[in-house]
């Protein structure tokens, strides 16, 4: 579903991403690991077109989207849950979910599946997003991204600042979505145990480069936990 090759990106004179290449397949969770500041979020922003790449290519379902604007990538089936959630605090839960349908025809209903995945959102449908707990806001952010039925879901540290019970719920939903075989999932994560539990494939980044890659089931034998502590 997603194929990246030779991605290089710069902030001013700083070389942030260095010849990054990986792919993400339908029905799989591809986990991106690494310490703070190694380029993980910059990679996701490059995938979404939030920041341009200097060189390299990004293909979605075989189509080159390297120079597409962010909203065009969304229309082609990409969805992004940024670090920090970035929901609309003054809008209700329902209004936030409708923002995920912004490019759909007027009157497109909110998929009932979202409330099956995250029942708390149904209970709080008229509550303002800013009044939700951090974990509830994260569930709302993921549901908003799923509203339009993406082919590729990109998540940036969804466990950050979240209580353990909701981390389990989010992990369950991510695994369920992947196992359905209708989308590819790219997950940036610092919480090693959560990443290992979900990963079908993994990549480890250091100083803007991929230094290790492999299958999720091999993370322990590959010494990935130690790499994140270097």
pLDDT digits (tens, 9 = 90+) for 75-116: 999 999 998 888 999 999 999 999 999 999 988 999 999 999
The pLDDT score that the predictor gives to residue 199 is 98
The pLDDT score that the predictor gives to residue 51 is 92
The pLDDT score that the predictor gives to residue 161 is 87
Its CATH class, for the domain covering 2-86+149-229, is: alpha beta
Q: What single-letter DSSP state applies at residue 72?
A: H
What residues does each domain of the chain span? 2-86+149-229
Integer Cα distance of 137 and 135 in angstroms: 5
The pLDDT score that the predictor gives to residue 230 is 60
Residue among 38, 46, 57 at smallest CA distance from 205: 38
Instruction: Classify each residue of 123-143 as buried b or exposed e, where b means 16 or more C-beta atoms within 10 Å of its C-beta.
Output: ebeeebbeebeebbbbbbbbb
pTM of the predicted model as reported, rounded to 2 decimal places = 0.94
Residue given tokens 């389990």 in the structure block = 168
Instruction: Classify each residue of 5-18 as buried b or exposed e, where b means 16 or more C-beta atoms within 10 Å of its C-beta.
Output: eebbbeeeeeebbe
Residue numbers in the chain where pLDDT is lower than 70:
230
CB within 8 Å of 147: residues ≥ 6 apart: 97, 98, 100, 101, 110, 111, 114
The pLDDT score that the predictor gives to residue 197 is 96
């Amino acid at each position: 579903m997603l194929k990246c090759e030779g991605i290089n990106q710069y902030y001013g004179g700083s070389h942030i991403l260095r010849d990054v290449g990986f792919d993400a397949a339908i029905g799989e969770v591809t986990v991106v690991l690494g310490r703070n500041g190694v380029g993980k979020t910059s990679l996701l922003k490059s995938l979404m077109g939030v920041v341009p790449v200097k060189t390299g290519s990004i293909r979605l379902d075989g189509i080159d989207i390297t120079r597409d604007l962010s909203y065009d990538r969304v229309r082609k089936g990409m969805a992004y849950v940024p670090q920090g959630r970035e929901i609309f605090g003054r809008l209700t839960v329902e209004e936030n979910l409708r923002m995920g349908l912004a490019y759909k025809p007027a009157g497109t209903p909110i998929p009932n599946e979202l409330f099956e995945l995250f029942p708390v959102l149904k209970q709080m449908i008229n509550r303002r997003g800013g009044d939700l707990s951090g974990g509830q806001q994260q569930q709302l952010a993921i549901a908003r991204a799923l509203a339009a039925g993406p082919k590729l879901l990109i998540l940036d540290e969804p466990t950050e600042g979240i209580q353990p019970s909701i981390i389990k719920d989010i992990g369950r939903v991510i695994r369920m979505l992947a196992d359905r075989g209708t989308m590819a999932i790219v997950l940036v994560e610092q919480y090693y145990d959560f990443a290992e539990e979900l990963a079908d494939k993994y990549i480890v980044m250091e100083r803007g480069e991929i230094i290790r890659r492999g299958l999720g089931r091999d993370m322990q034998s590959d010494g990935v936990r130690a790499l994140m502590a270097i």
